[in-house]
Structure 1
Amino acid sequence: MTTTQGIRTVLHPVTDLAVAKAVYTALLGVSPQTDSPYYVGFEAEGQHIGLVPDNGKQQLANPVSYWHVTDIEAKVAEMIAAGATVRQAANEVGGGRLVATLADSDGNVLGLIQDR
């Protein structure tokens, strides 16, 4: 069994990226580290908070917490064996980062991230 490195990333779907960016800047007290029309990301106190416009490829309906792992394929296999279902298979999103989402038996979305 592989272990996780904890939840360090949370992505939030937003309908108005400019307004959300202002709200999260006020909340976190820091400016975005990544600021683009398709993604705004903040680093605050060891957490990465991302804002994803509702037309983003992640197709988020609710915030998703991402568990950081050292071996995403092994963790996906363990979770499937335990009863989870794959929503989005592991894929590279840039910079060597792999991301996957699964759902537990109640439909709760669980994100996984592996940095290479």
Structure 2
Amino acid sequence: MLRGLSTVNIFADDVAAARDWYTGILGVPTYFAREMAGELAYAEFRLGDHQHELGIVDRRFAPTGTGDTPGGAVIYWHVDDVAAAVDRFVAAGATVHEKITERGPGFVTASILDPFGNILGVMYNQHYLDILAARTGN
């Protein structure tokens, strides 16, 4: 059964450029990288309270049938301030994909398109905070 996120992969034609962009926006360096034929083919970050992994994969290794346009599932990353997160991404060159939307008390979502064509969701999620507090005793 599903137990939690292990790795979320996004795709880019230029993994080095995507790594640099995400390093700047996230404020953390990658912890793992793999080169093939002298070019960066994979870069991975560990993020947040549970050190979930965000991997950037060279688009040539995308699964068959994966298009080069945004689509599919939207993965939402918890943030404490959705508007501030969206503003930060947009200031760095992303565009708004889905505007900020309140889904109910304690649940606010939005998504952006990164400069590499990937959808990235951000969400204030009270459930996430409740679970974290229960596990950490805060």
Q: TM-score, normalised by structure 1?
A: 0.48
Structure with bigger strand share is 1
For CA contacts below 8 A with separation 6 or more, give which structure has more relative contact order.
Answer: 1
Greater gyration radius: 2
Structure with bigger helix share is 2
Q: TM-score, normalised by structure 2?
A: 0.40
